Structure 1
Amino acid sequence: MVLVSAVLQGENDTTSSEHVLGPNGGKRSYTLFQGHSGPVYSATFSPLGDFLLSSSADSTVRLWSTTMNANLVCYKGHNYPVWDVQFSPLGHYFASASHDRTARIWSMDRIQPLRIMAGHLSDVDCVQWHVNCNYIATGSSDKTVRLWDVQSGECVRIFIGHRSMVLSLAMSSDGRYMASGDEDGAIMMWDLSSGRCVTPLMGHTSCVWSLAFSCEGSLLASGSADCTVKLWDVTASTKVPRTEENKSGNTNRLRSLRTLPTKSSPVYALRFSRRNLLFAAGVLSKSV
């Protein structure tokens, strides 16, 4: 198993191979990428896994080669920390979100951004590509989600409903729905064609750091600072007629299937594999 890690320290663009002890005392190798001069807030692999992007408090995004184990490009354009970076589903292009209240579209072969999306009134905390690569969504500390046209750089829709900063976004595989999670633990699922909220709910007691749709889009997973992962039934919830919703008075139509608690680890990242295996990542603190 190879673990690729973007490290916080170091001015030089260097890599080194190191080893860590495995559970049975055996050594496992990993590659250490060094180059950022501040904390690394986000990392994303290209669709084929041959490149890695990392974003940092040093206001830069770095492109790394996982085959050559080297830093290829340092992208400078944001004026403040870059909270999130995401490769497009087709690769080559990527989007970044920053404390400077903008999101930017980049191409791997150009040092300057192709588009600058400005309009949010506070930090852009997260960014997510639509499956057709023609749109990106951004979540902000101004409590809104915006949908942007990649070609023009214009905002085409604003989603209003959250009561705290939006920290996570996910797009369904069919491109019909978007889920957003906020600091209060609320999750909202939106119909992109109409712009309305399909279902608002309070499933977590703390920040929703990560959201992920399963490959076929029937499940939504959410990871939170409350040290749990929750699985939601998307298919059943989106088929409930609005007349039934009005009769019952219940607007929480996203049915919870299971809650998976960790021992004491906040869940910061979720990802479904192509075989629909769910991977979760968090932080484990050990007292010395």
Structure 2
Amino acid sequence: MKHSRETRTPANGTKRPRREAKLNVDWDLDSNDEDSDVDDHRKSQEDTLADAQEHAETPAEKRLRVAREILAKVQASQRRAGETGSDEDGSGSDEDDDDDTAKLNNGLDPVTQKLHHDLLRAEGRLRRPVAAALKQEDISYHKCPRTHRLSVTCIALTGAEDVAYTGSKDCSIVRWDVETGKRVTRFPGRPATKQIAASSIKGHHDEVLAVAVSTDGRYLASGGKDKVIHIWDARSNTLVDSFSGHRDAVSGLTFLNGKHTLYSSSFDRSVRAWNVDEMAYIESLFGHQAPILGIDCLYRERAVTCSMDRSVRYWKFPEESQLVLQGVHKSSIDTIAMADETHFVSGSQEGTLALWSTAKKKPSSIVRRAHGDSWICSVAAMPNADIAASGAADGYVKLWNVDTTVRRIKAPSLMSLPVPGYVNALAFGASGRVLLAGCGQEHRLGRWERKSGGRNTLHIFRLPEYVHDLDAAAALKEAAEEAEREDAEAASDEEGDDK
């Protein structure tokens, strides 16, 4: 069939002329003047657009933009001088954060140091060296009253570190005032029975296994064995919405720092992303071959999970991809926490504490029998610091020096904080002011053993001022290193005198 090119006739009957005219360009003419006019016009448009963007941004955004520009110039000059090296594994930006703090005092002027400091803090990449200075006698302890009837299984702490939430096997969620250690309110929830239908219960009707709170403290998310994720308005303590996408128990919940994006893990072996602002489901990712037992994330759209299949997986949600990290464990990996964007700490049923890195598919460092014969029930890591905590059923919470620069957990532990019972959940404050421990008489996932000396409540450890004061922590570490150097020099001088 031949297609004829005909002129379409409008409804009024008049023919529309076809456009035959073409743009004639004389390429032989000297167009330098015209090009300069075009360039001037384009440059004026760009300047106008830049001015509009500058007027539209907030003061905080402007400071951040200026800091980025200064840092870009400094880093460019360092590259030209040959001061910066290439990545160890060539993997790109995920490994660029390890030496960011070291650059603060690398010959930069005070203004640039301050801008670099503020930028790294805003992006969550500021390293805090506190392990060398932390002393057990500087940590104060506060025991909260018993509130839950059954074991505490999970903890969530707001970004301001003033409010905490605990979930329990008794289906309830309790809000705590961290400053006073007192219970503020209890969210509804009770076990379903033959007399009480699950549909008539407002809240969870089975064990709560996971809670998470947004950084601004506005939304609280909770999930458990009833396969439902409840979203609560933390300001009014009311139920806002419920997500029912998982086909098995919800084992882990975590909010992306600074955003209302929620990640969840489940016994159904899936990881799901939710938009809490829109109360909408985003996507699901699969990969684990057994139930997922824990999940954690920090600032980027990344999450890390652990599973009964004895593997750890690092998820990249925008790319819908995953990095499989297979350990040397002989049993399930029960708990995991991110120390920074590329390093995370896990604990297993065989009692092994492990440090992982995205640059290596096996643990970079392991500590076997970290709690003796007890399996590790919970771990927590102070964000972008060199401190991690682990809890078990041996009656102690142990603090560890986690050096991500050499990717090693230094054994033995720094100290042991006495906490009776099963330590089922741990949470560090974002600034490092507090360490919370949720305890109970039973393990969070079962009833294999009962510790009669345990209390089904929250334990609060208040850390000293220098832990959350970066400058003070850096000064203390520098003083400690200086003292070590002086001791070494004195020892060498004594050896020389003896000779």
TM-score (norm 1): 0.80
**1:136 matches 2:292:** no
Match in the other structure for 1:39: 207
Residues 377 and 423 of structure 2 are in contact (CA less than 8 Å); yes or no, is this contact kept in structure 1? yes
Aligned runs of 1:85-100 on 2, under 5 Å? 85-100=253-268
Higher helix content, 1 or 2: 2
**1:229 matches 2:397:** yes
Which of 354, 358, 361 is matched with 1:188 structurally? 354
Structure 1 residues 196 and 158, CA gap change in structure 2 (3 angstroms) = closer
Residues 106 and 114 of structure 1 are in contact (CA less than 8 Å); yes or no, is this contact kept in structure 2? yes
**1:272 matches 2:439:** no
Q: Any gaps of 5 or more consecutive residues in structure 2?
A: 1-161, 190-202, 442-451, 455-499
Match in the other structure for 1:124: 292
Q: Secondary structure at the match of 1:271?
A: strand
- Give, as a single letter, the amino acid of the residue that structure 2 aligns with 1:268: N
Residues 214 and 220 of structure 2 are in contact (CA less than 8 Å); yes or no, is this contact kept in structure 1? yes
What is the deviation of 1:91? 2.7
Q: Secondary structure at the match of 1:225?
A: coil
Q: Distance in 2 between matches of 1:208 and 1:9?
A: 23
Q: Which moved further from structure 2: 38-47 or 149-158?
A: 149-158
Q: Which moved further from structure 2: 75-84 or 160-169?
A: 160-169
Residues 234 and 254 of structure 1 are in contact (CA less than 8 Å); yes or no, is this contact kept in structure 2? no
Q: Distance in 2 between matches of 1:277 and 1:28?
A: 17
The alignment of Structure 1 onto Structure 2 pairs a total of residues equal to 262
Q: Distance in 1 between matches of 2:306 and 2:402?
A: 21
- Give, as a single letter, the amino acid of the residue that structure 1 aligns with 2:302: Y
- Give, as a single letter, the amino acid of the residue that structure 2 aligns with 1:50: R
- Give, as a single letter, the amino acid of the residue that structure 2 aligns with 1:42: A
Structure 1 residues 60 and 159, CA gap change in structure 2 (3 angstroms) = same
Greater RCO structure (CA 8 Å; 6+ sep)? 2
Which of 175, 185, 201 is matched with 1:30 structurally? 185
Structure 1 residues 99 and 239, CA gap change in structure 2 (3 angstroms) = closer
Q: Secondary structure at the match of 1:59?
A: coil
Q: What does the per-residue CA deviation read over 1:74-131, in whole Å, with 9 as the maximum and x for residues that have no partner?
A: 00100111111111112311111111111111111455531211111110111111x3
Higher strand content, 1 or 2: 1
Bigger radius of gyration: 2
Match in the other structure for 1:244: none
Q: Any gaps of 5 or more consecutive residues in structure 1?
A: 241-250
Residues 352 and 376 of structure 2 are in contact (CA less than 8 Å); yes or no, is this contact kept in structure 1? yes
- Give, as a single letter, the amino acid of the residue that structure 2 aligns with 1:140: S
Percent of pairs with identical residues = 26
Structure 1 residues 36 and 163, CA gap change in structure 2 (3 angstroms) = same
Q: Distance in 2 between matches of 1:193 and 1:223?
A: 27
Aligned runs of 1:104-183 on 2, under 5 Å? 104-129=272-297, 131-173=298-340, 175-183=341-349
Q: What does the per-residue CA deviation read over 1:240-259, in whole Å, with 9 as the maximum and x for residues that have no partner?
A: 8xxxxxxxxxx975441112
Structure 1 residues 47 and 172, CA gap change in structure 2 (3 angstroms) = same
Q: Distance in 1 between matches of 2:387 and 2:164?
A: 28
Q: Distance in 1 between matches of 2:331 and 2:238?
A: 39
- Give, as a single letter, the amino acid of the residue that structure 2 aligns with 1:179: V
Q: What does the per-residue CA deviation read over 1:113-160, in whole Å, with 9 as the maximum and x for residues that have no partner?
A: 31211111110111111x332211110000100111111322233333
What is the deviation of 1:53? 0.7
Q: Secondary structure at the match of 1:234?
A: strand
TM-score (norm 2): 0.48
The root-mean-square deviation of aligned C-alpha atoms, in Å, is 3.0
Q: Distance in 1 between matches of 2:174 and 2:300?
A: 35
What is the deviation of 1:6? 5.4
Match in the other structure for 1:57: 225
Q: Distance in 1 between matches of 2:336 and 2:174?
A: 33
Match in the other structure for 2:271: 103
Residues 223 and 268 of structure 1 are in contact (CA less than 8 Å); yes or no, is this contact kept in structure 2? yes
Match in the other structure for 2:377: 209
Structure 1 residues 103 and 225, CA gap change in structure 2 (3 angstroms) = farther
Residues 228 and 250 of structure 2 are in contact (CA less than 8 Å); yes or no, is this contact kept in structure 1? yes
- Give, as a single letter, the amino acid of the residue that structure 2 aligns with 1:229: V
